[in-house]
Structure 1
Amino acid sequence: MIRYSNKRPRPQIVVIGGGTGLPVILKAFRRQNADITAVVTVADDGGSSGIIRNYINVVPPGDIRNVLVALSNLPEIYQNIFQYRFKSKDQFFSGHAIGNLIIAALSEMNGDGIFNAVQELAKMMKVDGHVYPVANESLILHAAFNDGTKIAGEAEITAAAKTIDHVWVSSTENKQPAAVPEVIDAIMHADQIVLGPGSLFTSILPNLMISNVGQAVCQTQAEVVYICNIMTQKGETEHFSDADHVAVLHHHLQKKFIDTVLVNTEPVPHDYLDHQKYDEYLYQVKHDFNGLRSQGCRVISDNFLELRNHGVFHNGGQVVDELMRLTSRPLSWIDNEFN
């Protein structure tokens, strides 16, 4: 089966997610000849973003801030100012990033939601590409657990440390949310859709559970690539294999929509990870390539690992190099050349 082949010299790539994994990939994409659109979750309710969301009633700005910086062409000193967090002794501003406050202020000044504010800020920051909050309003993430209980709120869901059955999103008025039209248009006209890396239930799925986003991802002619996490996460993916991650995504959209999975096969050195600093990470994700292929996925396995500061990350450059190679190939179910 061949569904897609790129003929454009500058491929249009849409990266969907949130959290700390998304900026790693986006920063590496800046060195490539590609038209990049970042679609960012608006369901975060923890930390500085959560406080601003609750007190000022704006879309949580933290993930958006990190993406803007990752794609910005401003001198590093300006990027550092945007990312600066006030220290604990500052009391009222303690823990808040300057960029979060700027995004909140622009959103309030515009009075028509976060989307236009982010577009204005992207111009100011000389962003290379497009940054789209997935919706023009804050969303609430809900989870149903295997024990039958339900919880609302991203931070509360993770803190519950229970096995998640499924998640969904609602608006703050408990209505069915919709993505902004620009997001749907980007997905439908893309050459490649990239999911992750990032928390499965709290960074990737909050975007896909917006009905018109999920429908667009299932209907697009673009190749859909999932970058599987390297480590399992406490309260989300304990004991998961790579095939388990994909099965959850397919279950939520009720369709086998993922075409290709990028999997890191380089072992994480024993005792390298600082579990106090990165307390959400547990163990390395187990591999189940047969399980991935049985779900219709092409598997690309390689050393995508980067170790720094006693943390475990994807090597953005290596991941993006592989993603760019994929844009020049027709989509095929024959994957043995990659293993």
Structure 2
Amino acid sequence: MNQVLKNKKQKIKMVVIGGGTGLPVLLTQLKKHDVDLTAIVTVADDGGSSGIIRNHVNIIPPGDIRNCLIALSDLPTIYKDIFQYRFDSKDDFFSGHAIGNLVITAIADMRGSVFEAVKLLSTMMAVNGKIYAAAEEPLTLIAEFVDGTVVRGESKIAKSRKTIDRVYVKPLDEEKEAHAAREVINSIEEADIILIGPGSLYTSILPNLMISDLGQAVLRAKAEVVYICNIMTQLGETENFSDADHVRVLHKHMQQKFINTVLVNTERVPDAVLNQQADEEYLLQVTHDFQALREEGCRVISADYLDMKNGGVYHDGSKVATEVMNLITNMPISYKYKP
């Protein structure tokens, strides 16, 4: 490792932006490394237990935050399992709800905000890092399709099976603009490296970046910005996409080429798995266009990041975390430690 890194006491400040199932997989592995880790989590989820709680209590959806708390917690497994337990009851109220979602909601009600709830739970659960909701109020994800139609609600977008032109977010009162918390902006401005993804492009990643002050903070950041590209395309979102198409969409939405480095999986997904997902979340493997990525101003790091488990296709969090740490080691000193 670079001698400067050995001698420097200050930890690398790493910010991870995303949501869905990919974010906690990566956080679980990154916390094993000696970094100052912050997770910024989407608040536009309106499906499942989170959506029901959001609609009844007018609170940001707790599901992704719950999973990040578990990912960064150093508690024994039995306590994590309790927090993650999802009721399998036929009771109209409890059915499908995770205990952790109810706990987050209750403490938010006690303390007056989800921010305070997560702060308290982070202490109680021995969380190794910081977790921030991207905004302190629930947001509606809105998609405009190339045919001019508009759909409101994250859970409805993919079901429309139309080509998306752009997405954006609005508070429940659409006359207002969405804003990120000051702590979110500060963490981005102070970051040495910003990881975006892995996660659904339109419904897990862009909902964060479309919060205007959050997105602008990413554009202003002096950090290395790394996009962890999805391994598979998704029905109703990124059908027929290459890795370069993912980056083009990000750059189009932000109106600036801001991704410095892209991590791309090049390991082949077995044919038996392709287009066999019961929930129809996946379609085919993302194709590669390294020349187009370079034209977007990106450095490309390609390797085997594939993890096949439970019949599904995932990023191997350990491999990705190791790659990120290798990237940090080789970053210019100006990225690593600013005066």
Give the TM-score taking structure 1 as reference length.
Answer: 0.94
Partner Cα separation in structure 2 for residue 31 and residue 93 of structure 1: 35
Alpha-carbon distance, 1:279 to partner:
1.8
State, as a whole percentage, how many aligned pairs show the same letter.
Answer: 59
Partner Cα separation in structure 2 for residue 277 and residue 9 of structure 1: 46
Partner Cα separation in structure 1 for residue 245 and residue 93 of structure 2: 43
1:228-285 Cα distance to aligned partner (Å, 9 max, x none): 0000001110000000000000000000000000000000011135834342100000
Partner Cα separation in structure 2 for residue 140 and residue 286 of structure 1: 31
Give the structure 1 partner of residue 127 of structure 2: 127
2:314 alignment partner, SS class: strand
Counterpart amino acid of residue 132 in structure 2: Y
1:203 alignment partner, SS class: helix
Counterpart amino acid of residue 296 in structure 2: Q
2:142 alignment partner, SS class: strand
Alpha-carbon distance, 1:31 to partner:
1.1
Alpha-carbon distance, 1:170 to partner:
0.7
Matches within 5 A, 1:31-42: 31-42=32-43
Alpha-carbon distance, 1:54 to partner:
0.4
Counterpart amino acid of residue 317 in structure 1: S
Give the structure 2 partner of residue 271 of structure 1: 272
Give the structure 2 partner of residue 51 of structure 1: 52
Alpha-carbon distance, 1:9 to partner:
4.9
Give the structure 1 partner of residue 249 of structure 2: 248
Give 5+ residue unaligned stretches, structure 1: 333-339
1:152 aligns with 2:148: no
CA contact (8 A) 2:275 2:283 kept: no
CA contact (8 A) 2:275 2:284 kept: no
Partner Cα separation in structure 2 for residue 32 and residue 107 of structure 1: 30
CA contact (8 A) 1:273 1:312 kept: no
CA contact (8 A) 2:107 2:117 kept: yes
1:110 aligns with 2:108: no
CA contact (8 A) 1:179 1:212 kept: yes
Partner Cα separation in structure 1 for residue 102 and residue 191 of structure 2: 32
Give the structure 2 partner of residue 224 of structure 1: 225
CA contact (8 A) 2:43 2:135 kept: yes
Give 5+ residue unaligned stretches, structure 2: 334-339
CA contact (8 A) 2:274 2:283 kept: no
Give the structure 2 partner of residue 335 of structure 1: none
Counterpart amino acid of residue 40 in structure 2: V
Partner Cα separation in structure 2 for residue 96 and residue 28 of structure 1: 27
Counterpart amino acid of residue 269 in structure 1: P
1:147 alignment partner, SS class: coil
1:287-315 Cα distance to aligned partner (Å, 9 max, x none): 00001000000000000000111110001
Matches within 5 A, 1:228-239: 228-239=229-240
CA contact (8 A) 1:44 1:154 kept: yes
1:90 alignment partner, SS class: coil
Give the structure 1 partner of residue 299 of structure 2: 298
Alpha-carbon distance, 1:108 to partner:
1.1
Matches within 5 A, 1:164-183: 164-174=164-174, 175-183=176-184
Partner Cα separation in structure 2 for residue 178 and residue 191 of structure 1: 23
Cα RMSD between the aligned structures?
Answer: 1.5
Counterpart amino acid of residue 130 in structure 1: K
Give the structure 2 partner of residue 199 of structure 1: 200
Partner Cα separation in structure 2 for residue 85 and residue 181 of structure 1: 33
Give the structure 2 partner of residue 136 of structure 1: 136
Counterpart amino acid of residue 127 in structure 2: V
Give the structure 1 partner of residue 336 of structure 2: none
- The count of aligned residue pairs is 327
Partner Cα separation in structure 2 for residue 29 and residue 301 of structure 1: 19
2:238 alignment partner, SS class: coil
CA contact (8 A) 2:243 2:286 kept: yes
Give the TM-score taking structure 2 as reference length.
Answer: 0.94
Alpha-carbon distance, 1:92 to partner:
2.1
1:65 aligns with 2:66: yes
Counterpart amino acid of residue 126 in structure 1: A
1:92 alignment partner, SS class: coil
Shift in CA distance, 276/292, structure 1 to aligned 2, threshold 3 Å: closer
CA contact (8 A) 1:273 1:310 kept: no
Alpha-carbon distance, 1:157 to partner:
1.2
Matches within 5 A, 1:278-317: 278-317=279-318
1:41-98 Cα distance to aligned partner (Å, 9 max, x none): 0010000000000011111000000000000011100100111100043332110000
Partner Cα separation in structure 1 for residue 318 and residue 79 of structure 2: 24
CA contact (8 A) 2:142 2:150 kept: yes
Alpha-carbon distance, 1:8 to partner:
6.1
1:320 aligns with 2:325: no
1:293 alignment partner, SS class: helix
